[in-house]
Structure 1
Amino acid sequence: MTVDVRSPETGSPKMTDSSLPDWAFPPPGGFTAEDLDRIPHLPEHTELIDGSLVFVSPQASFHTRAVDLLVVALRQHAPRELRVRREMSVVLGAKQRPEPDVSVIRASAEQSPEQTFYRGEDVMLVAEVVSPESKERDRKRKPSLYAEAGIRHFWLVENDAGRPVVHTYELDHVTGAYVVTGVHHDRLKLSAPFEVDIDLTEIDGI
């Protein structure tokens, strides 16, 4: 089960009488994006949404294979000035640091092997593979955050009997919201943000 814990003070967690770390009892104010790099012993893939910590449960096979499929295919198609990353957090604001399943960033955003996040202005595309426990975030809150940050392209990947269905969206700069550009079942063929042609049925062999 995904656990959403409102954010606490920064610093090393201390054990309380209830054997919970200190950050399980948040004071007013919430976490900031920078805090995720300073708090020790956070679970892997912890996200920050609206100042709250979001802990992710173990992923199902479909989720892992769908991410693998997209990462490999996007790296084959991406221009030299872009990079494809999986499960790297993106700072969108002081209290927003989601971790897209897949993101396409500008190569110039890669500053060092030790960096732990990218900034929204360097992201061209984000993709979220919907998990049963994160449907609301993947379908509603996270796309809203990505749009507000000006990320031009968003893909939402749904599970249809073990096959990915990819809903593609592009940012409308007039409304500041995403508009759907297609729903793709067996083949994902697009010209933006760059030429892409992905056989979605290849997930069967992964």
Structure 2
Amino acid sequence: MTAALHDDYPPPGEWTTDDLDRLPDDGRRHELLDGNLIRSPSPTRLHQSIALMLGAALQETCPADLDVTQGVAVRISRTRAFIPDLLVTELDAAVRNPSHYRPNEVLLVVEIVSEGSRSIDRVLKPALYAEADILYFWRIETETGIVVHAHKLDPVKQIYVETARMPDGILLPEPWEMDIPLARITPRAR
């Protein structure tokens, strides 16, 4: 029985996006890094509340030709696929109701750092999103309050350059003009 179960899945380093499509929905995030499957546990309440509130605030302020969503994969290649916490895409791409996006359809990715994903969210994902030419990347830290780190791609070096560190809310001129108070993305607490 164990051998049969093992045969249902590719060996490490051989996973592709086709394999992701065949996985059952088990409540975990399934991502690919160079053909290796990464399974993440369900996010915490704090993480999900920030994602929900920020997503709503971004949707209210974004231009009509853009769309905001959460938890939809960005397939960078056949062996690399990540699921940002939030992403802003072209509306034309969103209306086809995709289960995943191509990098050229994505304007902004947002990662909310969790205890189990610090290195991935701070180092690995930004490097690979930049390599895929996604123009904007935000990282949200929550260890000492909510702090939004906004980055823009340097297309020559293919790295992100921090454009703002915002502990008091989101005040930016791009990718569109926005002014989102910190209270708007802060979950309720007692």
Same fold, judged at TM 0.5 (above): yes
Question: Structure 2 CA distance, aligned partners of 1:121 and 1:86?
Answer: 17
| 1:16 partnered with 2:5 | no
Q: Aligned pair count? A: 188
Confirm whether residue 93 of structure 1 aligns to residue 73 of structure 2: no
Cα deviation code 1:150-203 (max 9, x no counterpart) = 000000000044x31001100011211100101000121111111111112331
Q: TM-score, normalised by structure 1?
A: 0.83
Q: TM-score, normalised by structure 2?
A: 0.90
Q: Report the counterpart of residue 171 of structure 1 in structure 2.
A: 153
Deviation at 1:31, TM superposition (A): 1.1
Give the aligned residue type for 1:94. R
Map 1:1-206 onto structure 2 (within 5 A). Answer: 15-16=1-2, 21-23=6-8, 26-27=10-11, 29-40=13-24, 43-113=27-97, 115-161=98-144, 163-202=145-184, 203-205=186-188
Which whole-Å CA distance do the structure 2 matches of 1:47 and 1:188 have between them?
28
Q: Identical aligned pairs, as a percentage?
A: 37
SS at match of 1:83: strand
Contact 1:43 1:55 in 2 (8 A): no
Compute the displacement of 1:58 (Å).
2.4
Alignment gaps of 5+ in structure 1? 1-14
Q: Is the 8 A contact 2:28 2:42 kept in 1?
A: no
Where does the alignment leave 5 or more consecutive residues of structure 2 unmatched? none
3-state SS of the aligned residue for 2:56?
helix
Q: What SS does structure 1 have at the residue aligned with 2:51? A: helix
Runs of 4+ in 1 over 4 A off after TM superposition: none
The letter for the 2-side match of 1:154 is: F
CA drift of 1:140 comes to 0.7
Query: RMSD between aligned alpha carbons?
Result: 2.0
Deviation at 1:62, TM superposition (A): 1.5
Contact 1:91 1:98 (8 Å CA) reproduced = yes
Query: C-alpha distance in 1, partners of 2:13/2:38?
Result: 16
Task: Measure the CA separation in 2 of the matches of 1:43 and 1:36.
Answer: 14
Counterparts in 2 of 1:23 and 1:42: CA distance versus 1, 3 Å: farther
